Amino acid sequence: MPNVRFTPSKKQFDAYGYLTDDETEFIGYGGSAFSGKSYLLCYWLTIMCLAYPDTGWGLGRRELTNLKKTTLLTLFKVFAESDIKSERDYTYNQQLNIITFTNGSQIFLIDTAYKPSDPLYARFGGFELTGCAVDESAETAYSAIEILYTRCGRRRNHEYGIRRKMLETFNPDKGHVYKRYYRPHRDGIPKPRHIFIPALPADNPSPEVPDYIAGILATASKATIQRLINGNFEYDDVKGALWRWEMLEPIQIAGIPKHVTLRRTVIAVDPAVSSKEDSDETGIVVVGLGSDNLIYVLEDATGIYTPLNWASKVSFLYDKYQADRVVAEVNNGGDLVEVNVRQVNKTISYKAVHATKGKYTRAEPVAALYEQARVRHLPGLDALESQQTGWSAGEGQKSPNNIDALVWGITELALAPTKERKVY
């Protein structure tokens, strides 16, 4: 088999040490663009495949088309640099999305996108992996990474003495990678079996880096420069944003306190007009009003659904949370929205709401409750939080449907003109 020609940078060398030790299981690498993230990932997979025959490795990214246009091309560059040739050293089955080396090792190309037809990622259940890598993991829901991790350690790990590993590469983001990697690193309180290695373009010895940096500095916004050049996870500069991460970070809780009961729970829905691949998502958010008069955001089930599928999801959540009401915006669908809900569950308590004000105007009172720390977020709301901090509300940018659903839900519980609906 060919010898892999890998000349790592200092940061890549450090990461490779954790990728091959007997303790670390989650390795987060990056923090900026052009920091050698994809090359590290591809070299690691290549080396492990060639060094350990008949092992299996996952290579994931949100949307398989993006993986093939980006990460896979980098993998083939790594192959070329090490004289690893197609047909002689490996085959690539484009239908099954599997690369198989002549020694029996395999790389499985995995689409990590959330799919309404597979909310629990059951499609990952057939993988028997030695280890896995997810490129741009901030784009992938943490629940998908969790499931993929459970599929690691299942193919010749014991025989070779290989600890299961999950390598994640990413740019600065305020979602799950911030909570799992950056914040523990910043605070000096690392999570067990986790390591974060920050890497910047300046850490990459590639001769292409200076031109890349110059291009970003000449054309990008301050926020983009802070994120992609300086690797700044803390920088917020979304003009017109109603929510900032400083508002969201302190309200994170692991669960509803034991002394709190939910007085009312609503399933808020903002239906999409269609359900094609490029359609808007149907916003579905579950919100509760606690006995402590705080608002609890329980779940975000937003996704691209057919009308029947989103109605079924709403019915499932209605029963799961023993909800008191479904609140749905009907500006696009009119009476058909209620008909759709009733088709699945005739017993649901349903309320139609009409948008008579602009989205920014409707969202402002809800954002004010966040500013006053009157809202709590349970785990699993990474996508919603990224949308909240990234929506340029004041600039007229179209609002994401999960934010619209969130606003309808909180408005119903805390801002509707009813004496009982108070938040202290």
* Predicted confidence (pLDDT) at residue 424 exceeds the cutoff of 50: no
Lowest mean pLDDT among 52-61, 106-115, 347-356: 347-356
Interval 274-300: pLDDT, tens: 555 446 789 999 999 999 999 999 999
Return the pLDDT at 310. 92
Q: DSSP secondary structure string, 48-108?
A: HHHHSTT-EEEEEESSHHHHHHTHHHHHHHHHHHTT--BTTTEEEETTTTEEEETTS-EEE
Residues 6+ apart with CB under 8 A from 127: 56, 58, 108, 110, 148, 151, 154
The token pair that represents 117 in the structure block: 């037809």
Identify the pLDDT of residue 420: 43
| pLDDT tens digits along 232-278 | 887 765 677 899 887 888 898 989 999 999 999 999 999 886 555 44
Position 147 scores a pLDDT of 96
Q: What is the pLDDT of residues 13-36, one digit of tens each?
A: 999 999 999 999 999 998 777 788
> Where does the pLDDT of residue 419 fall: very low under 50, low under 70, confident under 90, or very high at 90 and above?
very low
| Rounded Cα distance, 203 and 401, in Å | 39
pLDDT of residue 192: 94
> Does residue 8 register a pLDDT over 80?
yes
Supply the pLDDT for residue 249: 82
What pLDDT, on the 0 to 100 scale, is given for residue 100? 99
Within 13 Å, how many C-alpha atoms sit on residue 81's CB side?
A: 15
**Which strand ranges, in their side-by-side order, compose the sheet holding 106-111?**
90-93, 98-101, 106-111, 56-61, 131-134, 166-170, 26-30, 194-198
> Is the predicted pLDDT of residue 422 greater than 50, yes or no?
no
Q: What is the pLDDT, as a whole number, of residue 236?
A: 62
Give the mean pLDDT of the chain: 89
pLDDT given at position 317? 96
CATH assignment, 10-228: 3.40.50.300
* Strand runs labelled E in 383-424: none
**What pLDDT sits at residue 235?**
72
Q: Which of 51-60, 228-237, 348-357 has the highest mean pLDDT?
A: 51-60
Give me the sign of the Cα torsion angle 114, 120, 28, 84. negative
Question: Do residues 338 and 325 make contact, with C-beta atoms less than 8 angstroms apart?
Answer: no
* Arithmetic mean of pLDDT, 338-367: 88
> Does the domain at residues 245-415 carry the CATH identifier 3.40.50.300?
no
Q: How confident is the model at residue 205 (pLDDT cuts 50, 70, 90)?
A: confident
Most confident of 149-158, 199-208, 326-335: 149-158
According to DSSP, the residues that pair with 216 across neighbouring strands are: none
3-state secondary structure of 205: coil
CA–CA dist 142, 128 (Å, integer): 20
Q: How many alpha carbons lie under 13 Å from residue 22 in its C-beta half-sphere? A: 3
Say if residue 122's pLDDT is above 90: yes
Q: What is the reported pLDDT for 23? A: 96
Exposure string over 123-133, b if 16+ CB within 10 A, otherwise e: ebeebebbbbb
| Average pLDDT value for residue range 114-124 | 84
Name the residue ranges covered by the structural domains of the chain: 10-228, 245-415
Q: Which of 3-7, 140-144, 149-153, 162-166 has the lowest mean pLDDT?
A: 3-7
What pLDDT was estimated at residue 333?
56
Beta-bridge mates of residue 132 = 58, 166
pTM of the model: 0.72
Residue 407: how many other CB atoms lie within 10 Å: 27
What mean pLDDT comes out for the span 380-387? Answer: 85
Q: Are 129 and 155 in contact (CB under 8 A)?
A: yes
pLDDT of residue 421: 44
| Apex 236 CA angle, 234 and 238, nearest 5 | 160
Check residue 214 and give its pLDDT. Answer: 86
